[in-house]
Structure 1
């Protein structure tokens, strides 16, 4: 019985060692995929930051336009009020 257990243990040990190359290939493949995904995430983060900056610029321009329109309307109201009899 002890000989059978020893033989099975030896066979499993040799089998585990034989799969090291395949395991290394799988790890390399997964590492490459993780690196590619990391690059994509970094690119998306850069695009998101650029979009956020564009949105902020558009918001500032819209606020400035609204302020200018309000000031223009007030000037027109003052001109119209001065011509009333």
Structure 2
């Protein structure tokens, strides 16, 4: 019985040692994939910040155009009112 347990323990030890290279390769592969995804996330964050800044600029331009149009309409209304008098 003791010989069987020793033989099984030896076989498991040899199997575990043989798998460390494969495990290291898998870990390295996964680390590379995580690094690539991290780079993609950083790039997407930069693009999102740029898009948000562009949207903010467009909103400000639209608000300014609206204010300018309102002022122009008031001037036109004043010109039309002066002709009626």
Any runs of at least 4 consecutive aligned residues in structure 1 with deviations exceeding 6 A, and if so which?
Answer: none
Give distance in 1, aligned partners of 2:14 and 2:65: 76
Matched, 1:50 2:57: no
**What residue ranges of structure 1 are gaps of 5+ in the alignment?**
none
TM-score (norm 1): 0.95
Matched, 1:3 2:9: no
- Counterpart of 2:73 in structure 1 is 73
1:6 is displaced (CA, Å) by: 2.0
Cα root mean square deviation, aligned? 0.8
TM-score (norm 2): 0.95
Give distance in 1, aligned partners of 2:73 and 2:5: 95
Query: Structure 1 stretch 63-72 or stretch 1-10: which is displaced more?
Result: 1-10
- Counterpart of 1:31 in structure 2 is 31
Number of aligned positions between the proteins: 85
Give distance in 2, aligned partners of 1:57 and 1:16: 60
**What residue ranges of structure 2 are gaps of 5+ in the alignment?**
none
